[in-house]
A and B are shown apart, each in its own frame.
Chain A
Amino acid sequence: MIARILVAAALTVTAFGASAQVKVGVISSSTGPVSVVGIQQKNTVEILPRKIGSLDVAYVFLDDASDPTQSVKNVQRLLIEDKVDAIIGPSGTPGAMAVLPFIAEAKTPLLAPVGSTAVVLPMDAQRRWVFKTTQNDDLVMNALFGELKRSGTKTVAFIGTSDPLGENFEKAARIAAEKTGIKIVASERYARTDTSVTGQALRILSANPDAVLIGTAGAATILPEVTLVDQGYRGRLVQTHGAATPEFLKLGGKKVEGTLLAASPMLVLDELGDDVPAKRVALSYIGLYKAKYGTEPGTFGANVFDAGLLLERAVPIAAAKATPGTPEFRAALRDAIESTRDLVGAQGVYNMTPEDHSGFDARSVVPIVVKNGKWTLLK
C-alpha cells in the first residue's frame, strides 16, 4: 500500500517537464571517492547553457555516489523516466562502461567526461553513442612515461587506491610502461580512507624504483607521497591528473615540491601563450565558475563544460531535422556531435570522426611540475 502511494508521489513530482525543450541528464559523483571530481562537475552544470538557439535546455542532475551500479540505475531513470535527449556523465570510467549497453539500447548520445579510451574503443554498435570529453588516460600516461624515459628512468613503482580509479590508472600505466620499456617493479594498493600506508611505502622502498607513480585522485593522492618522502625516498614522485586539485598543493606543502604530473594545460594558463586556442575558453570557464562559487575549478569541471560546448554546437543542427524528445532527434544529435570539427574547448580542440570519438589530441596534456608550491609547465 505504502509502496503504491510513494510511487505515485514520486511520479507526480518528477513527471512534469515541457516537451518544447531539450532535456539533458547529468550524472556525476558528487559524493564518495570520486567526489573530488564529481563536485566540480556538478557545480559546472549550473553554468551550462540554459538556452541553445531558440530551444530551452533543462538539466536533470543525479549523483551516483561514485558507485557504478548507481550510475546504471541513474541512467535507467534518465532514459525511461525523464526521456532525456542526451546524457553527460558519469564521472568515473567503470560507471561509463557499465551504462554502455543501456545507452546503446535507448539510442541516446552519452558525453562521457572519463579518462579511459575503453569507452570509445574499439568502435562498435554500442560505442557509436558515446563521446569522450576528457584527455585519454593513455595520453596522460604517455606524457608521464615519455618524460620519465627522457629523464632516464628505468624502473617505476605504482601505488593506487583499491577502487575503480586506482585500478584504471594501473592498467593504463602498465600499457604505457610497456611501450616505453620502463619496468614496473612494485604495485601496491591502499584504501582511500586508510590512515597509514607505511607498509606499502616500505615495500616500495625495498624495490628501490627510480620513480613512484601514485594513481588516485583528490586528497588521497597525498598520503603515499608524504609517507615516501618521510621515509627518505629520494627518487622521482609522479602523480596523474587526479592530483590536479588545489588541495594537493595546500595539504602537501613542501613535501610535494618537485612532483611530476601530466594534466590539462588549464593548470598553467598563465604560462601559455595566447596562441594556444583553448586558453580563451578556459579563462572564460574559470571566470564563470569563480563568479558563481568564489573558487577556481579544477580540470574535471571543464570536462563537463566542454560537453556543454559540444551540445551547444550540435543541438541546433539536430533540431533542424527533428523535434527534441524524439528518437529521430537523438539520432540526429549523435550524428551532429560526430561531425564536430575544430571546436575549441577549455582543455583542447575537438575533432570527432566516426572512428574516433575521443576528440582530444596530445596537445590537451602537458607535463607539469610543482615548483615553489605552484603548478609550473615543465619545459
Chain B
Amino acid sequence: MTTFVALYLAQDGLANGAIYALLALAIVLVFSVTRVIFIPLGEFVAFGALTYLGLQEGTGGVTGGFVGLLAMACLAVEAFAGLRRGRPVPALRAGLRQAALPLGLALGSVVLPTAGFPLAVNAVLAVALVAALGPLLYRLVYQPLAEASVLTLLIVSVALHLVLVGVALALFGPGGVRSAPLLDLRVTLLDVPVTGQTVMTLAVTVLLIGALSLASRNTLYGKAMRAAAINPIGARLMGISAPLAGRLCFLIAGIVGALSGVIAASSTTMLYDTGFLLGLKGFVGAILGGLASYPLAALGAVLVGLLESYASFFASAYKEVIVFGLVVPILLVRTLRQGRLLEDDHDAAPAFVLDDSPEAMRRQAWAQRALVVAFVAGIAVAPVVLSDYSLAILDYVGLAAIVALGLVLLTGIAGLTSFAQAAYVGLGAYTTGYLSSAYGLSPWLTLPAVLAASGLLALAAGLLTARLSGHYLPLATLALGLVAHALFGTLEVTGGQSGMANVPGLTLFGHPLQGPRPFYAVIWLVVLGGLLALRNLLDSRPGRAIRALRSGLVMAESVGVDTRAMKIASFVVACLLAGLAGWLYAHFQRFLNPSPFSITQGINYLFMAVIGGAGSLVGAVAGAAIVVMGNQWLQSVLPRIFGAQGDFEVIVFGLAAILMLQRLPHGIWPALAALLRLRPPGARPAAPGTPALAARDKPASGETVLAVRGIHKAFGALLANRDISLDVQAGEILALIGPNGAGKSTLFDIVSGITPPTSGTVEFRGRSGLSLRALALGGMGRTFQHVRILPDMSVLDNVALGAHARGRGGLVRAALRLDRGEEARIVAEAQRQLDRVGLGHLAMRSAGSLSLGQQRLLEIARALASDPCLLLLDEPAAGLRHLEKQALADLLVQLRSEGMGILLVEHDMDFLMGIADRVLVIQFGVKLAEGDPSSIQRDPAVIEAYLGAAA
C-alpha cells in the first residue's frame, strides 16, 4: 500500500465516518433523553435523500403526503386524549401547535414548483420536511410508552423501522437516487484529490457536534433536555415536560438524519433501504463511545468509518467480519479499564396480585392444569384437523418458539439482551448441513456435534462477554451476529451466498420424516420438552439465581450467587436451544443460505419474545405464533384488500406491533395470564416434616467475627471514610449511627465487599480482602437501605433465594426435576425464616405487593435463610409500624442470644437504645464516639453533631 492509497482511504474513511458520527450523535441524544435506541434513524437518512431528489424532480409531494397524514393523526390523537380528559379545547390547541408546521411544510412540498428551485433551497426544504417526522413519530409512537422498559422501547423501534422501510419502498420505489453535488469543487491535498463533498461533510459534522455540545450546555432547551435525561421528575417540577424534551430531541435527530441523507445523496447512490446499514454503523460508533458522550461517540463512529475503508481495500469480502469483529475486543478493553461493574439497569417486572387463600390457590392450580391439558391437546389434535400447509406454518412457529424460549430465559428473565441467537441457529444448521451432506453422516449422529458446537461457542462467547456490562453486552452480541452472518455468506464450506442445497431429511428407523406432517411431531415434542425443562428450571435453586440477575447483581452476589456463572449458563442454555432449532431447521428445510441467520432475523427473535411477553415461557410460543402466522396471514389477506400493488405486509405488521406494545408493554401472555389468574412458576409451600438444611459451624459467643481496621475511602477529593476501625463479636449487636452523609452507607458497602476501600482492611472470620460473594459464602448476610427484592416473584421464592449457597443442585438436575429433595429443604427453610420474621402468612404473595416495612422484613428473612453468623442490617426499622418494630427488636435480641453478630445502621434511636450493646457514631467520615447506648446518649459531641445537623 502506497502513501497515496493510505491517504485516499483515510479521506474516504473520514468522510463516511463523519456521516456515522452525525448519526451516532443523534442516537446518543435520543437515548440519553428518552432511553429509546433509535433504529429508525437510518430511515430518516433514506427519507432525506429520496425526498431531496423528489423535490428536485417535482415529486416531493409523496413525502409531503406522508408528513401530512402523520400530522393529522397527531391532531386526532391529541383531540381524542383531550376528549377523554374532558378538556378538548386545550388539547386541540396543543395538537394544532404540533401539527400546523408539518402541515404547512407538507402543503408547500405539494404546491411549490420545487423542480426549478436551486439545490440548496431544496436541500433545506427536504431536511425541514423529513425532520418534521421526528416529533410527530415521537408523539404517536413513543410518548405513550414513556414508562416502558428499554427492551420494549427497542422492539418498538424495530417495528417502526419496519414500517418506515415499507413506507419508503411504497413512496419512492426500489430504484436508487443520486444528486448533483451541492458543492462542485475538487482540490488536491497531499496528492490526494479531495472533493467538495468530503470537505462539506466534515465541516457539517464538526459544526453540528460543536453546536449540539454548546446548545446542550448553554441554552434553556439544551438544559431542559439534559435535565429530563438525568432527572425526569425534577425536570417536570421545573416546568419541563418529558414529552417536550422527547419531541425536541426527535426533532434534532430528524434534522441530523435528513441532513445526512441529503449530504450522502450528493456523493453516492441512495436506495430506500440504504439507511439501516448507515444507522447501524452510527449505532456501533455510539456504543463504542459509551452511549453517553458526544465527542466519544463521534470518535467511535469515525473509527468505524476508517476501519471500514481500510478493510474494504485489503479484504472487501471480509469487510463486515473485520469491522464488526474488531468491535468485541474494543468493548472488552473498555470494560476491563472500567473494572467490574456490579450494578446494572433495574428492569422491574410487574408484581402480581393473586388471591392466596388455600381454596383460591387450589382453583388457580386447577385452572393451570386445565390450560396445560388444553394446550397439549390442541397441539396433539392439530395434525388431525389441519391441512399440510397449516402444519408447515405451525412447524415454522415451533422452530421459532424454540429459539424464543431460549431468549425468554436469557433476555426476559436473566436480563441479557442478545441479538446473536439467529447466528447460533445458523451455526447449528450449517454444522449439521455440512456434516450430513459432505460426509453423509446421519442427522442423528450430527446432533451431538451441533449441540457441542453451539454449546462451546456459547461458552466461549459467554466467557468473553459476561465481563461486559450495560450496553456493551447487547452490542457484543450484535457484532457477533453480524460477523457470523457475513461468514456464512463468504465461507466456502457454507456454500457462500448461494447456500447449501440438498441437505438430507430426517429418517427414523428407516422411515423418512419428510414434509410438514411428520416433522410437526418432532418439532413440537422439542417445544414441549423445552417448555417443561425451562419451567422446571425456573422453579429451582439455579432458576431463582438466574431470575435474580435482572434486578442488579449486588443482591444476587450478596446471597452467594455466582452471577457470572449464571449469566454464562443462561447464555449457553439459550444457544443450545438455538442450535437445536438450527439442526431441526436444516433437515426440515433441506436448504441453507445466510438470510435466515441474519441480524434482522436475530432481532426478529427478540421481537417474538417481547411481543409474547419476554418474562414468560408461554410468551415465547405466543410471540412466535403471532409473528410467524401474522406475517403469513397478512401476506395472503392484504393483496385482497389493497390489490397486488405495493407491499403492505411489513407496514401493517409493524403498526400492529407498535399498537399492541402501547397497550401491553409487557407482552401478550402476561396480560392474559393476569386475566386468567395464573400463577407464574415458583416454589409451592413445603410439606410439613421436611428435614432441615445442614447448618454451618458457628463461631462461639464472644469470638470476634468482624474486624475492620483503619478504613480510608476517597471518592476523588472527597474523603468518605477516614481511619475507621470497629469490631463485631458473635452474640453482639453493634449499632452504627451518624447524621445523613456521615459515610455510614459507604462503610457498609466496604464491609460487605461491594466497594473496595482506598486503604485499610476488613477481616471476616480471620480472612481479609474477600469479595461480596465470598463474604456471603462465609456467612455474612445483609439487607439493603433501598430494598432489593424481586417484585414479580413470590415472597417464598425471594427468601428461598437467600438459601442459595446452602444447596448444590445445578441446571441439569433442576431441568430434570432431580433436585426435589434439596429443593423441599430449601423451601422449608425459607418458610421457617418467614415465620420467624412474621411474614409466614404472606409466603405466596408477590414480593412487590408487600408494604415497604414488610419488604424490609423479607430482606431479613432472606439474609437469615443463608444461615449467617454475621448480619448487616441497613435501616431495618424504617417504614415499620410500632408493633412491627417491637417484633423486630425481639427477633434481633433472640438472634443475638443464639450467637449471631449483628451490625446495624439505624436512625431510630428508641429502637436502637433498647437492643444495641455498643454504639459507634461517625460524622464526616470520622469516628466521633463509641460506647454503650446510654453513655453515647449523654456524649456532648454526639448531641452537638445531631443538633448541629438538625439546625
Contacts and interface: CB of A to CB of B under 8 A. Distances in A.
B389 A77 contact: yes
Contacts, number: 209
Contacts of A80: 387-389, 392, 516
B698 to A, nearest CB: 54
Contacts of B595: 67-70
B644 A100 contact: no
Interface string B630-649: 10110111011000100100
Task: Name the interface size band of chain A.
Answer: 35 or more
Given A3-B397, A13-B640, A188-B316, A195 B268 contact: yes
Given A42-B644, A196-B16, A218-B174, A9 B633 contact: yes
A206 interface: yes
Nearest to B647: A31
Contact of A219 (B269, B382, B516): B269
Nearest to A46: B644
A13 B596 CA distance: 27
B174 A3 contact: no
B639 A61 contact: yes
A222 B269 contact: yes
Contacts of A94: 497-499, 593
A203 B313 contact: yes
Given A162-B490, A219-B175, A251-B176, A202 B498 contact: no
Contacts of A42: 644
Contacts of B277: 191, 193-194
Nearest to B371: A1
Contacts of A245: 175
Contacts of B176: 218-220, 222, 247, 251
Interface in B475-511: 486, 489-490, 496-499, 501-502
B909 interface: no
Contacts of A73: 392, 396
Contacts of A98: 499, 501, 591, 593
B386 interface: yes
A97 to B, nearest CB: 5
Contacts of B392: 73, 76-77, 80
A73 B771 CA distance: 54
Interface string B166-199: 0001000111111000000000000000000000
B5 A6 contact: no
Contacts of A97: 498-499, 501, 591
Interface string B253-287: 00000000000100111110110111000000000
Contacts of A247: 175-176
B629 interface: yes
B311 interface: yes
**Interface centre among B490, B498, B501, B633, by most A CB within 10 Å?**
B498
A4 B178 CA distance: 48
A72 B273 CA distance: 24
B394 A6 contact: no
Interface string A193-226: 1111111101100100000000000111011001
Say whether chain A's binding surface is mostly helix, strand, loop, or mixed: helix
Interface string B141-175: 00000000000000000000000000001000111
**Interface centre among A63, A99, A199, by most B CB within 10 Å?**
A199
A225 B471 CA distance: 40
A7 B273 CA distance: 32
A315 B390 CA distance: 30
A67 B600 CA distance: 12
Interface in A1-57: 1-4, 6-7, 9-11, 13-14, 30-31, 35-36, 39, 42, 45-46
A128 B314 CA distance: 44
Contacts of A188: 312, 316-317
A14 B635 CA distance: 10
B8 A198 contact: yes
A62 interface: yes
A97 B268 CA distance: 33
Interface in B273-315: 273-274, 276-278, 308-314
Nearest to A223: B269
A166 interface: yes
A164 interface: yes
B712 interface: no
A100 B5 CA distance: 46
Nearest to A83: B389
Contacts of A257: none
Contacts of A3: 378, 394, 397, 625, 629
A219 B313 CA distance: 22
B316 A10 contact: no
Contacts of A190: 312, 316, 319
Contacts of A4: 378, 382
Contacts of A72: 589, 591
A26 B110 CA distance: 37
Given A69-B589, A218-B175, A7 B312 contact: no
Contacts of B632: 10
A168 interface: yes
B70 interface: no
A199 B12 contact: yes
Contacts of A167: 496-498
Contacts of B273: 193
A266 to B, nearest CB: 19
B590 interface: yes
A251 B177 contact: yes
B380 to A, nearest CB: 13
A122 interface: no
B393 interface: yes
Interface of A: 1-4, 6-7, 9-11, 13-14, 30-31, 35-36, 39, 42, 45-46, 61-63, 67-70, 72-73, 76-77, 80-81, 93-94, 97-101, 162-164, 166-168, 188-200, 202-203, 206, 218-220, 222-223, 226, 245, 247, 251
Given A1-B374, A188-B316, 7 more contacts: A2-B626, A13-B636, A14-B636, A80-B388, A94-B499, A162-B320, A162-B490
26 contacts: A6-B625, A6-B630, A7-B386, A36-B174, A77-B389, A93-B498, A94-B497, A162-B489, A162-B497, A163-B497, A189-B319, A189-B490, A191-B277, A193-B277, A194-B277, A195-B19, A195-B269, A199-B12, A199-B313, A202-B5, A202-B313, A206-B5, A218-B176, A219-B177, A220-B271, A251-B176
Interface of B: 5, 8-9, 12, 15-16, 19, 169, 173-178, 264, 267-271, 273-274, 276-278, 308-314, 316-317, 319-320, 374, 378, 382, 386-390, 392-394, 396-397, 486, 489-490, 496-499, 501-502, 516, 589-591, 593, 595-596, 622, 625-626, 629-630, 632-633, 635-637, 639-640, 644, 647
Q: Which 8 A-B pairs have the closest CB atoms?
A: A219-B176, A199-B312, A81-B389, A199-B313, A198-B12, A35-B174, A98-B591, A80-B389
